[in-house]
Every structure is written in structure tokens, then in C-alpha cells.
Amino acid sequence: MFENLSERLERSFKILKGEGKITELNVAETLKDVRRALLEADVNYNVAKKFTEEVKEKALGQNVLTAVRPGELMVKIVHDELAQLMGSKATEINLKGTPAIILMSGLQGSGKTTFSGKLAHLLKTKQSKKPLLVACDVYRPAAIEQLRVLAEQIAVPVYFDLESKDPVSIARRGVAEAMAQGCDVVIIDTAGRLAIDEEMMREIQAVKEAIRPSETLFVVDSMTGQDAVNTAKEFNDRLDFDGVVLTKLDGDTRGGAALSIRTVVDKPIKFVGMGEKMDALDVFHPERMADRILG
């Protein structure tokens, strides 16, 4: 059995107390445990380092040195700081416009297509919206087929064009189709590559400029470790996205990517994917995520 962070900190502070002294140096030592826990949860190294430095200031400010249960207080400070960092921004999605346009971005395999279906399902069943899905992945016919299957499952219309290799044109025509069908939300699923490449970035930028979405979402696999920071930063630099969707949180990842991304791009995490089914979608709960990261 692994000892979780609370137990670990309680133990090390107990030893220190037994020796009758808790000093600033001891606090710094203990923070190494915090940093280790963050790294084990796949938080980016630099993010974990900066975070623990900030927590140190807070801990000393809150008199951790004289607390009755310093381990507990330390864990609370770390937990609160994590939750606050990950969750202090509005998480609603912007549905302004007729139709409102939502653009998906992210690497291939991150879960964009699945999330597009889930979001359409959520808007339809919980907000009585009439969504239309648009398949803009011109490289992988299988991706278009996948969206068609999902759309059928949730009984939502889908627009695609197997002949076209021009995502901008498909996106534009998708929006026109939504208007023609009286749909009030258009969800645009785009192509992703296995790694960031210039062509893909230019393509999605062009789609964004052409259709001016009310909401651009960056979809990222929560199992992405140290790379999450670079990917999120690159997409944000190019697209200035509005929010993050963290997928595959039903797996055994601790989800440190949430903290890494939030720290680096300062955009809210809006949804979490909890499985492959169309209703396996949850809004983001910073408190729960903090618990999960700390283990």
C-alpha cells in the first residue's frame, strides 16, 4: 500500500515534533513530499516546483510551525491552494449567436469526437437545444464515420462531406446547414494529429477565423503527463481557446495535467470526460480534482 500525502506529512511532522522542534528548514523538507506527490500525479516539473514554493510562503504565514497538527494544516493549505488555482474562473460555455458555434481542438486521440457527441447530447437533453454536429476531419474517413455513428446514437443531425478536403469550406457549409435546419448550436469536430504540426495549426486557425466560434474548447487526454503543458500552450497561443476539456478521467490517472494546464494557460477547465458512453460527462469540480491529485 502506498502512503498518501496526508499520512506521509503527518508522519514526518510527528517525528519532528518528537524531536521538539519544527523549523522553517523542516517545512521546506516536508514540501519535498508535496512536490513528490505532485510529480507522481503527473504534474509538470516546473509547475510543481513553483507551486510548492508558493505553498511554503502560505504555510509559514499560517503558522504551520506552531500548529497542533502541522501535517493536517499543511495538507489543507496544499489542497485549498490546488482547488483555488484550478477553479476560480467561470466555467459556463458561451452559447451566444444564432447559431452558437463551438469549435473543438486538440491532438488526435484526445477525445474530441467523443466529447463532441457528449456535448451535443448534454445540450439536447439538459438544455433543450437543437445541436448539429459537423465533421471537419478531412484526413480520416473513420473519424467522420465515428461522428456519424455517435450522432445517430443520440439522434442529432450531422453534416459532413466525404468529397471535400477543405475543412474551412465544410465548417462554413455546416453552419449554413444548421441555419437551414433551424439548429441553434453547431459543434465542429476538427482533425487532430498525433503531435503538433504547423499544417494542422494553420488549418484550425483558418477554420476559427472563418466561422468565429462563440466558444473554442481544447480537448486533452488527462493521462498526458509532462507534455500537457507544451500542447496546451501551443494551442492556446494559436487559438486563444476559451476552456479546457479533460478526458479519460475514468482511468487511473491522478490527473495532474489539470494543474499543469491551468497554471500555464490560465483558462478554465470546463468539463471532464468519465468514459466512452455519451452520458459520461461531468462538469469540472476543482475540489474533487485537488483530492485526486493529492491521492
Would you give the DSSP letter of residue 177? H
Q: Give me 184's grid cell.
A: 441553434
Measured from the CB atom, is 92 or 251 closer to ligand GDP?
A: 251
- Spatial separation of the C-alpha atoms in residues 64 and 69, rounded to whole Å: 8
Measured from the CB atom, is 25 or 194 closer to ligand GDP?
A: 194
- Spatial separation of the C-alpha atoms in residues 181 and 77, rounded to whole Å: 52
Query: CB of 158: closest distance to ligand GDP in angstroms?
Result: 14
Residue 192, annotated ligand binder?
yes
Measured from the CB atom, is 60 or 149 closer to ligand GDP?
A: 149
Residue 127, annotated ligand binder?
no
Q: What are phi and psi of 31, to 5 degrees?
A: -65, -20
What is the binding site for ligand GDP (CB under 6 A)?
106, 108-114, 146, 192, 247-248, 250-251, 273-276, 280
Q: What's the Cα-to-Cα distance from 1 to each of 32, 83, 290, rounded to whole Å? A: 20, 26, 21
Residue 106, annotated ligand binder?
yes
Query: CB of 139: closest distance to ligand GDP in angstroms?
Result: 11
Helix, strand or coil, per DSSP, at residue 31: helix
Residue 83, annotated ligand binder?
no
Residue 191, annotated ligand binder?
yes
Measured from the CB atom, is 250 or 287 closer to ligand GDP?
A: 250
Measured from the CB atom, is 85 or 158 closer to ligand GDP?
A: 158
Residue 282, annotated ligand binder?
no
Residue 112, annotated ligand binder?
yes
Q: Give me 176's grid cell.
A: 449554413
As to burial, measured by CB atoms within 10 angstroms (0-12 exposed, 13-18 middle, 19+ buried), residue 42 is: buried
Query: CB of 281: closest distance to ligand GDP in angstroms?
Result: 8
Contact, 148 vs 189, CB < 8 A?
Answer: no
Q: What are phi and psi of 20, to 5 degrees?
A: 80, 15
Query: CB of 125: closest distance to ligand GDP in angstroms?
Result: 18
Contact, 285 vs 269, CB < 8 A?
Answer: no
Measured from the CB atom, is 93 or 135 closer to ligand GDP?
A: 135
Q: What's CA 117's distance to the chain center, in Å?
A: 17
Looking at beta carbons, which residue is closest to ligand GDP? Answer: 273
Residue 166, annotated ligand binder?
no
Helix, strand or coil, per DSSP, at residue 126: helix
Query: CB of 121: closest distance to ligand GDP in angstroms?
Result: 13
Helix, strand or coil, per DSSP, at residue 137: coil
Query: CB of 278: closest distance to ligand GDP in angstroms?
Result: 11
Annotated binding site for GTP: 106-113, 189-193, 247-250
